[in-house]
Structure 1
Amino acid sequence: MQVGNVTTPFGRRPISLAQIKGQMRTAEIRPGKTADKWKVFRDACEARAVLGIQDRALAVLDALLTFYPDNELREERGLVVFPSNDQLSVRAHGIAGTTLRRHLAALVEAGLIQRKDSANGKRYARKDDAGAIEEAFGFSLAPLLARAEELAQAAQQVAAERKRFRITKEALSICRRDVRKLISAAMEEGAAGDWGRIEEYFLELTRRIPRSPKTADMEPVLDEMQMLREEIINRLETHQDSENMTSNAVQNERHIQNSNTESSNELEPSSRNEQGAKSNETSRPTSEPIKAFPLGMVLKACPEINDYGPGGAVGSWRDLMSAAVVVRSMLGVSPSAYQDACEVMGEQNAAVAVACILGRAGHINSAGGYLRDLTRKAARGEFSLGPMLMALMRANQGAGRKVG
């Protein structure tokens, strides 16, 4: 223990165990260590929220640093500055005496400076015969040198968090704008769908954004807003495909009617069986593949599926599909029903559907029948995973609020 380096403040000022620990830490500064005082100061400014200090306290620290003659903080040259309160007040832009003392105490409490008080509490330096300072009493800047790397790391983390906040806020603003205009376009042009309900959900999401949001407030809203945008785009694409199919059918009918009647016999099937086969083929419903949502969103909406993944966790789409096979058997879904779902929806989306059914198992009488119904709707282009996932996410968040 570096007992000789621990000092207590003059008068009635108390000392905390944290301050004693800080003094011991400065006693362990490695020999020859240096740090640019203004670089350390900028890092402290960047990390002020983490340190719990105000801008005026930083102005006082800036004034203290101006009394240190070198740009490089180094222990060999002494790290104690000893200005009077009047001198500090002038360099701190005329700050009042009581305010100055309060912010000096805040800097000590934050561990950025240390008091090194003389016997009578005065600040001064004792010099030798050659005029060199033997010992000084005032404020030690040693904590800045000792914590230089820590402050630099804290500043980087604050900057990274600020960037993350800016990116999240920008993405949410763009997504929010997209959803608002897509809903308006769908309503104005009469696209099929319950756009009133979708708009209500959009307004509910926007109301969850606080007036002064933090990153943690915006990220879940952004996830759901992105899902809603994907769902709207899927519906609009389905609507557009339906219009194109209708238009093509009308054009084909006109083309057939305008064709040369002499060649009509060549276009007819040679038997009733062939005619029936062709009729069945042309009447088979066609639909665009269901678009998959990000795996992270699926796991957020269906956290129960994690328990059935390899090793009790789902970390990839392969893990999700393996878990879905286990859950399929547990829920009593026949292999043929699951295979049909894979063929119509795709393996990933079929696995997501099973995960959603697991999340709603308490409300579904027959999981197999429910999956077959979803498969039939998907074959007709009437099913999307988005509403199921969003409903489960809302339910999970509501349960979380009740538990908390």
Structure 2
Amino acid sequence: METESPGFGQNSRTNQGFGGLRRLSLAMLATDRTAAGFTGLSDGAGGPGAVLAAFKAAAPYLGLPPRVVHAVDWLFRFTQRQDWEAGARPVVWPSAAVQQADLDLGASQTKALNRHLVELGLVVMRDSPNGKRYGRRDRGGRIIEAYGFDLSPLGVRFDEFRAVAEKGRAEREAVRQLRRRVTIARKAIEQIVETAVEVGLEPGVFVREAEEARRLSRRLAKAESSAVLAFGVTRLEDRHGDLRQRLESLIAARQGTGSAQKDVETDPKAPENRPHQYRYKSDLNPEQDTVSGIEKSSPAPVGSGATAETTGLRNGRSGSETGRGEQKPARRDDGTVLRITPDELVRLAPRLLPYLGRSSPAWPDVVEAADWLRHDLGVSKPLWGEACIAMGREQAAIALAIVSARPAGHFRSTPGGYFHGMVAKARAGELNLGKTIWGMRSKRDTHGWNQPQ
């Protein structure tokens, strides 16, 4: 028994030209050739649902407007799985009246939309002799005769749609990552300007570079291509590298003349909280990136609150032995001194990881990452500057990392308030980061907490 879908085929005359034939264009002929290559979906392709999903995923990257996507989605309501098998044709024949009502379009708009679908290579119009859309199926639901929208081109382009969607997703992720790098580079340049002002350098050149970085960043915010963004990111990151090198050279020159002492206090009051001094080595000494609160520190200055006697006792020696400059005993890593590498700090405080630019960071990288992390913890720029003066930049970064590793319930007020208390203790000579780090190690070894996945 043959059946014809009810409600279809009425008032469905197509846009025909002279002699009852549809006007053809080069785009329509190309779509006809595409449809001729349809031999059915391969096994495991997933049927018409998979074709529609692939088309909709690729549509944004093909520049297709929403009305086209909606129209194709609507046409798939009338197809069945067996229509996409080998030897069959996925033809649907909804009437013009139904199409106009469902899509909320007028007659002229509907004709223009259908023609657009053909010219985009998505469907082929199969016209009946009388210009109406209709079709019949047998008892098994297979199409015997049908005139209307042939969806074969969508099946032929199935693999193309999937490839376009995958490429588009990869491009979108690349753009997202590049835009993040633009923001990081711009803020890093602004941070250099702030540092130059803090240490009393002439900010003119740095301010001009920061303004140029902002202008370039605004232009890149409108870019949609990863190639354009990559070029801009390279310029910003190169500029940041040059500015940072210039800043470090100027600071080093000032330190050589002794004028930097009045800008930043490099020796806090308690010896276990003195800042780590950079010692870049050409060999592969595993201790080159280790912060030690005592053995890697400078001697305490007069009036710092740490006498020679107390310094000697904390190192396991008497004050007189310290004064004679005898050889230091072997270091005991028992929580009385601070000894940690950047890699271990990241393992103990993994919230630093997203802000690090490389997998094996050095202390300058950790300090820069901490300056970004402080925003998440509610630590203000002035408080961060006070911490760097009270503890030194490296130990301020370690203190901030410790705060980031604490659970939310650990704080009586906020993480920023907790960090403020650590700064106050550092000023009073009461902060012992070594003991805290030792406790974090013990807890990690016992419970395996804060381990990166």
Q: For this structure pair, what is the TM-score category when the shorter chain's length is used for normalisation? A: 0.5 to 0.7
1:5-404 correspondence to structure 2 within 5 Å? 11-12=16-17, 13-30=22-39, 33=42, 35=45, 36-70=47-81, 73-92=84-103, 94-126=104-136, 133-191=143-201, 194-206=205-217, 208-209=219-220, 211=222, 213-246=224-257
In 1, the alpha carbon distance for the partners of 2:195 and 2:112 equals: 59
Partner of 1:331: none
TM-score by length of 2: 0.47
Task: Provide the aligned C-alpha RMSD in A.
Answer: 3.5
| Farther off after superposition, 47-56 or 217-226 | 47-56
Residue-pair matches, total: 245
Deviations 1:313-372 (A, max 9, x none): xxxxxxxxxxxxxxxxxxxxxxxxxxxxxxxxxxxxxxxxxxxxxxxxxxxxxxxxxxxx
Matched residue SS, 1:178: helix
**Are the structure 2 counterparts of residues 186 and 148 from structure 1 closer, same or farther at C-alpha, using a change threshold of 3 Å?**
same
Structure with more helix by fraction: 1
Whether contact under 8 Å (2:127, 2:148) holds in the other structure is yes
In 2, the alpha carbon distance for the partners of 1:199 and 1:71 equals: 63
Partner of 1:313: none
Partner of 1:356: none
**Shift of the alpha carbon at 1:168?**
1.3
**Are the structure 2 counterparts of residues 201 and 37 from structure 1 closer, same or farther at C-alpha, using a change threshold of 3 Å?**
same
**Are the structure 2 counterparts of residues 115 and 129 from structure 1 closer, same or farther at C-alpha, using a change threshold of 3 Å?**
same
**Shift of the alpha carbon at 1:105?**
1.9
**Are the structure 2 counterparts of residues 186 and 39 from structure 1 closer, same or farther at C-alpha, using a change threshold of 3 Å?**
farther
Matched residue SS, 2:79: coil
Matched residue SS, 2:188: helix
In 2, the alpha carbon distance for the partners of 1:196 and 1:129 equals: 79
AA paired with 1:191? L
TM-score by length of 1: 0.52
**Are the structure 2 counterparts of residues 71 and 90 from structure 1 closer, same or farther at C-alpha, using a change threshold of 3 Å?**
farther
In 2, the alpha carbon distance for the partners of 1:82 and 1:249 equals: 83
Deviations 1:104-154 (A, max 9, x none): 222111111111011121000145799853210000011111111111111
**Are the structure 2 counterparts of residues 233 and 120 from structure 1 closer, same or farther at C-alpha, using a change threshold of 3 Å?**
same
In 2, the alpha carbon distance for the partners of 1:235 and 1:124 equals: 77
Deviations 1:34-76 (A, max 9, x none): 6432322232223224544210111111110010122883243
Deviations 1:155-176 (A, max 9, x none): 1111111111111111112211
In 2, the alpha carbon distance for the partners of 1:127 and 1:134 equals: 5
In 1, the alpha carbon distance for the partners of 2:67 and 2:211 equals: 46
Whether contact under 8 Å (1:112, 1:144) holds in the other structure is yes
**Are the structure 2 counterparts of residues 239 and 71 from structure 1 closer, same or farther at C-alpha, using a change threshold of 3 Å?**
farther
Matched residue SS, 1:221: helix
Unaligned runs of 5+ in 1: 1-8, 256-404
Partner of 1:376: none
**Shift of the alpha carbon at 1:231?**
1.2
**Shift of the alpha carbon at 1:204?**
4.8
Whether contact under 8 Å (1:172, 1:222) holds in the other structure is yes
Unaligned runs of 5+ in 2: 1-13, 262-297, 303-453
Matched residue SS, 1:57: helix
AA paired with 1:170? R
In 2, the alpha carbon distance for the partners of 1:206 and 1:199 equals: 10
AA paired with 1:44? F
Detail structure 1 runs of 4+ shifted over 6 Å in the superposition: 128-131, 248-252
Whether contact under 8 Å (1:89, 1:97) holds in the other structure is yes
Matched residue SS, 1:125: strand
Matched residue SS, 1:76: coil
Deviations 1:259-283 (A, max 9, x none): xxxxxxxxxxxxxxxxxxxxxxxxx
AA paired with 2:248? E
